[in-house]
Structure 1
Amino acid sequence: MNKNLSVYYWINLFLTACLLAFALAGCGDDGAQGAAGTPGPGVASKSTATAITITITGTTINASGQPVVAFSVVNEDNIPVAGMSDTNLRFNIAKLIPGSPAKWQNYINRKVTKSGEPTAVQGTQERCSLSNGVCSSSYAWGTLVDNINGTYTYTFATDIRSVACPAAPDPCTDVDGNALDLSYQAGITHRVTIQLSGLTPLYNAIYDFVPSGAAVTSTRDIVSTAKCNECHNVIRAHGSRIETGFCVTCHNPGSWDNTADNHQTVDFPVMIHKIHHGDELPSVNDATNPTPYMIGSDDFSDVAFPQDIRNCTKCHDGTPGASNATVNGDNWKNAPTKAACGACHDDLYFGDTPDPAKLYQTVRHMTLITDAGGTAIANPADSTCISCHATGQLAGSVVETHDLPQLLRDEAEKYAFNILSVCGIDVGSSPVCDPTGTGTGLVPTVRFSVTDPTNGNAAYDIKNDAAFKCVPGVGNGLPASLSVLIGWNNTDENNTGSGSNPGQPLTASVLESYSSSTGVCSANNNVVAVGDGSFTATLTGKVIPDGTQGSGRASVYGRVSAVIHSVTERVRIKAAYRDFRITDATAVARRTVVDVNKCLNCHDQLSLHGDSRTDEPGLCVICHNPSATDVNRRPKTGGIPDASGPDGKTEESIDFKRMIHGIHGAGFRENGLVVYGYSSTPIDFSGIRFPGILNDCLTCHVTPTGSNAGSYELADKWEVPTASGILSSTVSAVPTATDAGTYTTFIARQDDDLNITPTAAVCSSCHDGLVAKSHMILNGALFEETQADIASSGTLEACAICHGPGRTADVKSVHGVD
């Protein structure tokens, strides 16, 4: 070796080595396979992406039987993204086995063993979970190649031509003991999925193909993710799995849970139907053998579906042109199966004997299907279900059995409530009901009509048409109900001086009444026909008190009746309202806070109190106002409220801004929420599980626009709510009543009510713990003070200083939706 080489030689050698190191670094991967190079021109880094889209461009099966997936990754600006590492991506592959029904089966499975239980098989993925810097052997992992230009290939570790049963020496079976088909079939539909992991926002990529190269003709796309997200915002499970098409590659008949005494399939149609039917499942409510619906340690027995469970098209719909329709979305009515139908109707058993482990299976599903020799088949194939469950057949079609929600909606389209005048002045001429100077107050009147929008707005005769009549022997004799309501002041209703306490408006029924003791229907004298198809209701004996200020609101609400499938049903009709002047120069509307169309995403129809207050928050707030509590419905001793209810309270606020947050956030609260309803029935909302993203206020609230577009503000009013006329929420309307003689006096007075200041009333309805309460008090909130003391305290809620738009703890940022 020459030890006397020139210094220039060493410098050149050093520079060459550096250049070579950089070049090698630019060709490598990161994660378990070495560091990735610097992205070239026009390529973004994953670390700067705020959104990522993965597109699978092709999949082949190589000579070793390993699927090879080609895909691309772009960011929110559609710029290619390089640098995705082994730990960022997870891969799966399943096949669609033909049949009636077709069913997915994963090629990649794992065994689950539990002491004393048979070995279960569950679908899984190929993934790299690092352990000491290398991919753990707990999962299979293949080879990921980053081409540094936004394109990648992944070669699976699994040879899908010869998949071994992971349960060996035990057999691979489903929950019923049927052998799984893990064979490779090149001529059928396959699905490859990619799960983005460890990065946000989340993304799942899905790609269907046929390995032989044939076109994909067999599909099983039943529920679109968008349908789920109407309620769930983002349907999400197991960290970052957010697409229904992804879920079914594992949640298929081949996967099940083997928890002791509770073996359950996690097949998607069975599991999802049972979860959503939760608290109404026959198995859960069986009188003799009630059985909770559990998967592992998770109990879904208290899940309540927020609308009629028979509304099948809420989740799956194949109607051409329907919102979020899917190719196989009509399977529920055209290709019913025992698994799907038996998931909700789980007291049924198919065959000669029930499952001995399911004692709630008490109803044998009859069959008229016979073999070629005319012998009845005890448990016929799924493909024969439609033979009986079709129009004109013995069982009737699946649609006819589940169509009541749709038929009721169709019937409701035939009715509209219209307010035409208030206090004798047409609504187009700025109606006014001003009791000033009367001394005794003003008896209001409302002229209205009920018309048919599907028939040129032809008017109904509410005194004689069958849809409005009293019907002895049907329910309470009043399948129809129609009322007129008057409330005030629209700045924030509390109906002071109405005589209907605490804080309730003036109301009058305008239809016939019914006596259950005599069985006789009686005419209503509160309403008279005008002669043009409209009617005028007079709220006899009820007044807007002298001295009332501002503006008020008139509403018409109720239901009609209709005979559907030979049964008299209640039909919910959207309520109507109109604002009127009292002392304002022009009618001032109450602030609009929630968008009812957002409510209907989950509720379909939002109807309460006997199916008569429907789809109109503008009506709800007149009764559910800051002064309102449930004290009149609460248990009483000697005529005064006691604390014998399940929550140990004498009353609970039913102010809309407080109650609705509390109900929807009940699962988040530290303390339960109980509200007493009609018939003095306690309703415990403590088990409510909000199906969406609870901290995303825009799930329910109106979407801000204009100068307010970036925030949750309501016309700036929430920053200084008291100064804007927004009232505190009453939490005690009878704070000092000591006997029956004083109860009526105290409930009629609002000046002695104890309240929570407006912003704290809202925030503490979810954040109800002592620490949160202390934080609110420290920043100006008052709890259990009279309205006068709040007004004279000189203290303002300072919430907006920190939580206002663009501030250090902006409401949006705190709720994680900025």
Structure 2
Amino acid sequence: MSSRRLSFVALIALLAVLLMPLAAQKAPNAGYTRHEKMAYVDQATANFVRPGVVVKIQSAAIAKDGTITARYTITDPKGVPLDKDGIVTPGTAPASLICAYIPKGQTQFVSYTTTVLKPSIPGNTNPAQTQAANDSGGVVTTNALGDYTYTFKTKAPANFDATVTHAIGISVRRDLSEFIQQDEWAQIGNDVFNFVPDGSPVKVTRNVVPTAVCNGCHDPLIGHGGSRIAVELCVLCHTPQTINPDTMESQDMPVLIHKIHMGKNLPSVKSGGKYRIWHRGAWSDFSDVGFPSGVDELKTCTVCHQKAPQAGQFATVPTRAACGACHDNVNFATGANHVNLPQVNDNQCVQCHQPKGAEFDASITGAHVVSTRSTQLGGLNFAITKVDAKAGQKPTVTFTVTDTAGNALDITKLDFLNLIIAGPTTDYNGYVSEDVRKAPIAGGQFVYTFTAALPGTAKGSYAVGIEGYRNTTINPNTVNSAVVRDVGFNKVFYFSVDGSKVAARRQVVSQALCASCHDKLMLHGGIRQNVEYCIVCHNPTVDDSGMRKTGDIPESINFKTLIHKIHTGSDLTTDFTVMGHGNSVNNYNDVGYVGDRRDCTKCHLAGTYDLPLADGLINQPTPRDWLKVQGPATAACLSCHTTKAAASHAQTMTSSTLGEACDACHGPNAEASVDKVHAR
């Protein structure tokens, strides 16, 4: 065969390869969702490994001589017993256990199992501290495959109270690194077993904040390298007896968690201090933590204290430790910053701090009222009832403004009231905002005609939104007097400019999903609260140039770029600073997202982050990024994946004539689908 013939055959073979569709990914393995890594391993490995671990304490006892025993089982999620030594089943699964009790008349645990820690900071002369800890040196007996009894080395003291609640906590870490690559926390099991040694029923437990509430933000909650994933276990170690020897700070759960979540808003931090936790020579600094619900919402204790039998304990059982953790400028020994009232114990707290009272008084709920939620506010409610608009004409909007009682308000007395219009709803392209406080009344409603006309080329559907507030003085003539913005919730109204069927803007995220962490969105001074409204302004054409000095390169503030980059925060590889109103400089490179950014469903509605994207989306100028103009898919991805290599990849896969080719590799059935590369 001639060399020319061989070359021709080779060319045909090469063309065949190039023209083949990219390999489609196989259907997810049975029993796994498309968001799990195990969905994409070969079926044989999945069937053999059966990842995950479930640990359950079946019984516990304390003998008269103080010997503590606990019987527990370890299985995979399907209930198949696991060998702790990893011989019969894949992966070792060692357990660590702790035993604690609640003293009579108290509400917190005290651990029998302890360890002594010395300061880890060189030169620190603080005394060693006895802390709650896992038991060490106990004996494990195998009853059957996956069924074990642990006998603690630690014994209960001779005078232990057999009539009070005791608890055994357990953590099991299954090591499957030999077989699969999966997040470590996915192979952790925790359990807590409450019992009374004398056999009587358990009447006293501790359940103030459940794990499920923590996971509303943390997704999932992981502590100590991932081995602690249940609050019910955390409270057995993080007790009043646990003091950090490096700082002599309490590591008690209410103190620790309150301080971490207060972070940069701690009085001690605001005055120049730091809140750092040392552990075995390394420290974690929580001084810059910003609570996602905002400064005011730090007062809303029920953001965390909910859905538990003792969730209301923050109001009914105030303590110096719990309250002083947030209000850490109070000196209870001297009474400083506590109206000069020293408190040597917690017995008198409830005398002044009753569970409920009037707004802004000394009661627990009263003192924690958020001013913007005060019942003294009359309320502001908007409704857009009609829009008359055609291409090239000035839109006329009919709307109402009432208070909570339904009374019509005089809008000329409001401090701010604007209508905003943008379109098309396929992807907003610019916007116009106008003050409407002088709108005339017609038939009991306000009617406003914009001074700006719609483009002559306008087609399809557009949107009108409304925002506004009135300043109201609450607690007048008192020391708690304050001027508060009484803000209305933004409403959005869709309309057609050409007689076609009205089409709302696509919904990508939901208000409820944002609220799972942020509780109540209050942006731009509180006047922007509705995500559906936010995207009207934060569209692909908008940047912060209006807030920058002449000549400064602007930053895109398109919603997907803004939100992705803010939540990526400290993982960004490039600077992300947005200039705001009042010459504010807003840098987000230190934001620590407490969830897992691979879990797109934490914010996104199902199916809204997949490729291909909807039709009609427009390109986005991004002058401060590697690529100065980005297609809609590129802009979404590069706002999390900010490396130069990622930008180069996106540029390579974008044609100047045909656009983005992202879904060729990252589409729903492609080998590198969005779900697969984000699987956990």
Question: Would you call these one fold, judging by a TM-score over 0.5?
Answer: yes
User: 1:815 and 2:678 equivalent?
Assistant: yes
Q: Deviations over 1:398-453 (max 9, x none)?
A: 11000226834x78896542211101xxxxxxxxx222xxxxx311111012356x
Q: How much does 1:231 deviate?
A: 1.2
Tell me by how many angstroms 1:459 deviates.
4.7
Alignment of 1:188-227 (within 5 A): 188-198=164-174, 200-227=186-213
Once the 2 structures are TM-superposed, how far is the Cα of residue 620 of structure 1 from its aligned partner? 1.2
Counterpart residue type for residue 596 of structure 1:
Q
Q: Is 2:559 the counterpart of 1:656? A: yes
Residue 623 (structure 1) aligned with residue 544 (structure 2): no
Provide the residue aligned with 1:147 in structure 2. Answer: 144
Q: CA offsets, 1:621-660, max 9 Å, x none?
A: 121111111011012xxxx223xxxxxxx21000111111
Aligned residue type for 2:220: V
| Residue from 302, 317, 322 that aligns with 1:313 | 302
Please give the alpha-carbon distance, in whole angstroms, between the structure 1 residues aligned to 2:372 and 2:525.
19
> Radius of gyration: which is bigger?
1
How far apart are the structure 1 equivalents of 2:48 and 2:155? Answer: 33
Q: Of the candidates 433, 452, 470, which is equivalent to residue 507 of structure 1?
A: 433
Change (3 A) 1:729 1:413: farther
Distance of 1:351 and 1:575 partners within structure 2: 48
Aligned match for 1:234, one of 203, 207, 220: 220
Give the corresponding residue for 1:641.
Answer: 551
**Which amino acid is 2:337 matched to?**
V
Match of 1:29 in 2: none
User: Cα offset for 1:798?
Assistant: 2.2
Matched, 1:554 2:464: yes
Pick aligned residue for 2:599 from 674, 696, 720: 696
Residue matched to 1:344: 326
Residue 630 of structure 2 corresponds to which residue in structure 1? 756
Corresponding residue to 2:97 among 91, 95, 109: 91
Whether the 8 Å CA contact 1:227–1:315 is kept in 2: the answer is yes
Structure 1 residue 156 corresponds to structure 2 residue 104: no
Q: Which residue among 385, 400, 403 is the counterpart of 2:369?
A: 403
User: 2:441 maps to what in 1?
Assistant: 529
* Equivalent in the alignment of 1:492: 427
Alpha-carbon distance, 1:564 to partner:
4.2
| Alignment partner, residue 488 of structure 2 | 573
- In structure 2, do the counterparts of structure 1 residues 578 and 250 end up closer, same or farther at CA, with 3 Å as the change threshold? same
Distance in 1 (CA, whole Å) between partners of 2:473 and 2:580 is 28
User: Which residue of 1 is the match for residue 669 of structure 2?
Assistant: 806
Of 64-73 and 691-700, more deviation after overlay is shown by 64-73
- Contact 2:173–2:187, Cα closer than 8 Å, also in 1: no
> Is 1:92–1:249's contact at 8 Å kept on the other side of the alignment?
yes
Write the letter of the residue equivalent to 1:67: I
One-letter amino acid of the counterpart of residue 667, structure 2: G
**More displaced 10-residue stretch of structure 1: 796-805 or 589-598:** 796-805
Give per-residue Cα distances to partners, 1:110-165, cap 9 Å, x unaligned.
22223433112222213xxxxxxxxxxxx3232142423x5433222222236xxx
| 1:775 corresponding residue in structure 2 | 649
Find the aligned partners of 2:352 and 2:658 in 1 and give their Cα distance.
71
Corresponding residue for 2:622? 731
**Distance (Å, rounded) in 2 between the aligned partners of 1:766 and 1:363:** 44
Q: Does residue 1:363 correspond to 2:337, yes or no? A: yes
CA distance in 1, matches of 2:73, 2:144: 10
- 1:634 counterpart letter in structure 2: R
The alpha-carbon distance between structure 1 residues 49 and 154, as it changes in their structure 2 partners (threshold 3 A), is farther
Separation in structure 1 between the aligned mates of residue 153 and residue 48 of structure 2, nearest angstrom: 28
Counterpart amino acid of residue 144 in structure 2: N
Residues 179-190 of structure 1 mapped to structure 2, 5 A cutoff:
184-190=160-166
Query: Take 1:731 and 1:187, find their aligned partners in 2: how far apart are those partners?
Result: 67
Residues 141, 47 of structure 1: CA spacing in aligned structure 2 closer, same or farther, 3 A cutoff?
Answer: farther
> What corresponds to 2:10 in structure 1?
none
Instruction: Name the residue aligned to 1:422.
Output: 387
Structure 1 residues 679 and 392 mapped into 2: Cα distance closer, same or farther (>3 Å)? closer
| 2:453 pairs with 1:543 | yes
Find out whether 1:597 has 2:512 as its counterpart: yes
**Percentage identity across paired residues of the two chains:** 30
Matches for 1:33-44 after TM superposition, within 5 Å: none
- Equivalents in 1 of 2:380, 2:115: separation in Å? 57
Shift of 1:562: 4.9
Cα gap change, 1:215 to 1:560, in 2 (>3 Å): farther
1:636-689 Cα offsets, whole Å, 9 max, x none, are xxxx223xxxxxxx2100011111100111121112310011112111111111
RMSD over aligned CA atoms reads 2.7
Cα distance in structure 2, aligned partners of 1:364 and 1:403: 19
Q: Secondary structure at the match of 1:387?
A: helix
Asked whether the equivalents of residues 52 and 174 of structure 2 are also in contact (C-alpha less than 8 Å), the reply is no
Which is further off, 768-777 or 327-336? 768-777
Residue by residue, what CA displacement relative to the aligned partner does 1:764-813 show, whole Å, maximum 9, x if unpaired? 11211122222222322xxxxxxxxx7xx224322222222232222222
Give the direction of change, closer, same or farther, for the CA distance of 1:672–1:584 in structure 2 (3 Å limit). farther
Instruction: State the distance in 2 between where 1:801 and 1:196 align.
Output: 42
Instruction: Decide whether aligned partners of structure 1 residues 584 and 83 sit closer, same or farther in structure 2, where only a CA change above 3 A counts.
Output: farther
Matching of residue 111 in structure 1 with residue 21 in structure 2? no
Q: Which residue of 2 aligns with 1:448?
A: 399
- The 3 A distance-change label for structure 1 pair 255 and 626 is same
Equivalent runs, 1:26-105 vs 2, <5 Å: 48-62=49-63, 64-77=65-78, 79-85=79-85, 87-99=93-105, 102-105=107-110
With a CA cutoff of 8 Å and minimum separation of 6, indicate the structure with the bigger relative contact order.
2
3-state SS of the aligned residue for 2:676? Answer: helix
TM-score, length-scaled by structure 2: 0.82
Q: Does 1:251 align with 2:238?
A: yes
Partners of 1:685 and 1:770 in 2: CA distance: 19
- Structure 1 CA distance for aligned equivalents of residues 377 and 640 of structure 2: 35
Q: Which residue of 1 aligns with 2:265?
A: 280
Conserved in 2, the CA contact under 8 Å of 1:552 and 1:579? yes
Secondary structure in 2 aligned to 1:157? strand
The question of 1:607 aligning with 2:522 is answered yes
Establish whether residue 381 from structure 1 lines up as the match of residue 345 from structure 2. yes
User: How many Å separate the matches in 1 of 2:95 and 2:372?
Assistant: 43
**Residue 122 of structure 1: which of 112, 131, 138 is its match?**
131
Query: Quick one: structure 1 residues 243 and 510, their matched pair in 2 at CA, closer, same or farther if it must change by over 3 Å?
Result: same
Contact 1:484 1:509 in 2 (8 A): yes
Given that 1:729 and 1:755 are in contact with CA atoms closer than 8 Å, whether structure 2 keeps it comes out as yes
